[in-house]
Structure 1
């Protein structure tokens, strides 16, 4: 008996059941062709973000650079996406903007997801108690205000910068995970395996992290994949009104805002940064749909 248990432990993640589950997940994910497209778009976005300084044709155009002799050049062989009103290569600046957009989404979710998840677990497991009431009423207050309005209010109080725009988005993002995990934890906390853990004397921390949390991971991971696109859009919105990344560092929203004043003559100043935003958002949304299908127990 003990020998069999030891063999099971040694198999670890490479046990036949785990490998079979991975095959099922891969099959479900690959059935949705848009999910595969989204995965490719996300990989390209990550590649641009990581290697932007090395692959752009004009890295000197990323910072403070002026070349009025080549200002307002239409897309062509010299400048694939054209040049802006200061003579900077828009292609180089668009590619570099992937870095800031991806960084914002990572920082926001790395902070907001654990905070929201922990609060949701506490409120859901202690359903009907004072902890539930306090946490969920505070959550409801944050959710009652439109997300963009709340982020704009917070960012406008702080000094405009990339860091403060991340802080503003993070403050308004955690309640969505608290609400999500709260609903999952509330339903799971009454299951037999949770009651059995309580009867054998397991601590509340053990029950929340080992018994309840694993049952919440699927919706959390799905929402995270979908939220990356929304965070990028939120960051671009703050940058558009001057509350995000500050010049001369390029950012999608800032570039779109700058180009709007030169429409329709220098249309490429606005169109190509907008395409960059859409590229990232579509990629992560398609990927999120694939992850949702992957964890869908009703799928075949």
Structure 2
């Protein structure tokens, strides 16, 4: 009895978790085997720092909003303006760094809504595989998936007032079906396993079976897809912003800056190139990170 008490106390203090620590070491080892994954993690961490501390990092925080300085307009990159200035005299570097905040905010909001909704629908359809519930959910999902994602997002955003919130809504509406399809495939195969049938025999509720028995076995592909999807959401948001359906001026956005700078190519190349590099920076980071997460959960790895 005293031994059990000691073990419980040790667990509360965090002294007894050798298996958990070993699992973490294994996961980290699998992740770090691919150097590009570590590089992606560094890029993602930098992106988060840029987004959180944008106003503290940038040299000209006043250039983020409404600001005009025609005396320094259209300057090429220099010691004073690392990425040059735009046609209004605003520092491109300061505005590019601030774009990280809007891009990450969009990806977080979109995935925070799309992933739970898509996952829950996929679980329900997969567990009730072959029934009318499965048919209704998956046919609706197929309708959304039949339309190219960008075209659907453009159609939805064009109907709504162009701003950041509505662009998030447009991307979210077309993003959940991918998770429904992913989880449906996993859940429909897992629902026939013995441990699921045993849970049904002992009287476990259907919600318990879906959330406690099936869902944990779907988390690996979900997490991998989430990491990869951040880059795609950022690209989708930049595309909407490029055509004027995203964040509105004077607040900077990657697509908006690229679109504005395209009118001045090739003379003022820095207005387009540096925002494009910012988009590539984030997409590469999250794609490499997603590859690392996939390797980390790969049960066949050594």
TM-score, normalised by the number of residues in structure 1? 0.97
The alpha-carbon distance between structure 1 residues 254 and 221, as it changes in their structure 2 partners (threshold 3 A), is same
Determine whether 1:218 maps to 2:220: yes
Partner of 1:277: 279
Match of 1:150 among 127, 142, 152: 152
Determine whether 1:141 maps to 2:138: no
Secondary structure of 2:53 counterpart: helix
Superposition pairs of residues 164-183 of structure 1, within 5 angstroms: 164-183=166-185
The alpha-carbon distance between structure 1 residues 198 and 7, as it changes in their structure 2 partners (threshold 3 A), is farther
1:3 is displaced (CA, Å) by 6.9
Partner of 1:266: 268
Question: CA separation in 1, counterparts of 2:111 and 2:265?
Answer: 35
Superposition pairs of residues 104-115 of structure 1, within 5 angstroms: 104-115=106-117
Partner of 2:11: 11
Question: CA separation in 1, counterparts of 2:6 and 2:176?
Answer: 41
Secondary structure of 2:138 counterpart: helix
Superposition pairs of residues 90-239 of structure 1, within 5 angstroms: 90-239=92-241
Question: CA separation in 1, counterparts of 2:296 and 2:10?
Answer: 27
1:207 is displaced (CA, Å) by 0.3
Partner of 2:258: 256
The alpha-carbon distance between structure 1 residues 222 and 6, as it changes in their structure 2 partners (threshold 3 A), is farther
Partner of 1:77: 79
Gaps of 5+ in 2: none
1:20 is displaced (CA, Å) by 1.1
Partner of 2:49: 47
Secondary structure of 1:81 counterpart: coil
Question: CA separation in 1, counterparts of 2:101 and 2:73?
Answer: 25
The number of equivalent residue pairs is 300
The alpha-carbon distance between structure 1 residues 10 and 174, as it changes in their structure 2 partners (threshold 3 A), is farther
Partner of 1:27: 29
Question: CA separation in 2, counterparts of 1:117 and 1:9?
Answer: 37
Runs of 4+ deviating beyond 3 Å: 1-14
Secondary structure of 1:97 counterpart: helix
1:19 is displaced (CA, Å) by 1.3
Cα root mean square deviation, aligned: 1.7
Question: CA separation in 2, counterparts of 1:29 and 1:173?
Answer: 27
1:115 is displaced (CA, Å) by 0.1
1:144 is displaced (CA, Å) by 0.4
1:48 is displaced (CA, Å) by 0.2
Question: CA separation in 2, counterparts of 1:118 and 1:10?
Answer: 37
Secondary structure of 1:246 counterpart: coil
The alpha-carbon distance between structure 1 residues 259 and 175, as it changes in their structure 2 partners (threshold 3 A), is same
Gaps of 5+ in 1: none
